[in-house]
Amino acid sequence: MLIIFITILSLLFLLERAYKTRTETKVLKYSNCLYALRDELREKVIQGDINKNDWVFDYLDSSITKTITQLSKISFYTLLIIYLIRNRDPYFNKAQKHLERALKNPKKATIKNIHDRYVKILDNYILDKHLISLTSLPFTIWLTTKGIYKNLTKQATEYPEFSTLYDYCF
């Protein structure tokens, strides 16, 4: 009986270790994607495609950096809780609208493209990190039909917990 108990504990330990290693690998993979995106953003400034004095550049550059440092803390459930809290925050909504207006400017097509890729990287990270739980929950279907999931990942790049939008927007 003791051997069975020790075997089960050992298997649980190995399973937990494998999951942790898998998660650390995903964080490293997506951190590298974000570093590459930030390098591309800075390269566009050097080439003159983006104005270095533009607040959207400052926001995007510092937000990508902040996201990299917070990536291990970002999860679907964290984003859902923040979404429910921030959804009714008038200050956040004002900042978000200000960013949307700035990104609609045709002169900022390059920076909008980088912002869209930033959102896509975060979206892929969340799906990759939670693939099993997200595909097995009927809850996900409800979130998708309500359009909440799309907003979760898009707004994740704007939440003060993971970005610097408040620092540069106003």
Please tell me whether residue 15 adopts helix, strand or coil conformation. helix
Please tell me whether residue 48 adopts helix, strand or coil conformation. coil
CA 151 to chain CA centroid, nearest Å: 11
Longest dimension (CA), the chain: 71
How much is the pTM? 0.81
Structural tokens at position 40:
């591309």
**Residues with Cβ < 8 Å from 42, sequence gap 6 or more?**
61
Q: What is the pLDDT of residues 140-151, one digit of tens each?
A: 565 565 566 677
Domain ranges of the chain: 23-169
pLDDT range class, residue 168, cuts 50, 70, 90 = confident
Structural tokens at position 38:
């930030």
Q: What is the pLDDT of residues 83-139, one digit of tens each?
A: 888 888 899 989 999 999 999 999 999 999 999 999 999 988 888 887 655 544 565
Q: What b-and-e string marks burial along 104-125, b requiring 16 or more CB atoms within 10 Å of the CB?
A: eeeebebbbebbebbbebbbeb
